[in-house]
Amino acid sequence: DGGITQSPKYLFRKEGQNVTLSCEQNLNHDAMYWYRQDPGQGLRLIYYSQIVNDFQKGDIAEGYSVSREKKESFPLTVTSAQKNPTAFYLCASSIDPLSLEQYFGPGTRLTVT
């Protein structure tokens, strides 16, 4: 089965703790993306990576960090500097950075109390 997996589906953390969200794809896609989704809002881009060992900030990168050491993996760390981390986080990928079609994973719902 080819696709994008995100784990876990639900994640709970205490305020002040860093937490890392997993995103893995076996589609052999070059580009990967992280979005944040809040109720009643569209998806907002956090970070994106066009190729291994390279990534750029999106519209709301503050308080987040990423790495892209392997083509198939693009983990997102939500740091304690993120002021409002509770949200639904979506990972996506596309064949290459110029491809307009993005495919999404099932998401991780993070709750920070």
Partner 1 sequence: GENVEQHPSTLSVQEGDSAVIKCTYSDSASNYFPWYKQELGKGPQLIIDIRSNVGEKKDQRIAVTLNKTAKHFSLHITETQPEDSAVYFCAASKAGGTSYGKLTFGQGTILTVHP
52 binds partner 1 (CB under 8 A): no
Nearest approach in angstroms of CB 68 to partner 1 is 15
Q: Does residue number 60 form part of the binding site for partner 1 (CB under 8 A)?
A: no
97: Cβ contacts below 8 Å, ≥ 6 apart: 30, 31, 50, 51
Kindly state the number of chain residues that form the binding site for partner 1, as judged by CB under 8 A.
26
93 near partner 1, judged by CB under 8 A: no
Q: Residues 22, 50, 65, 73: which binds partner 1 (CB under 8 A)?
A: 50
Buried b (16+ CB within 10 A) or exposed e, 29-62: bbbbbbbbeeeeeebebbbbbbeeeebeebeebe
Point out which residues pair with 36 in neighbouring strands: 44, 89
Point out which residues bind partner 1 (CB under 8 A). 4, 6, 9, 40-45, 48, 50, 58, 90, 92, 97-107, 109
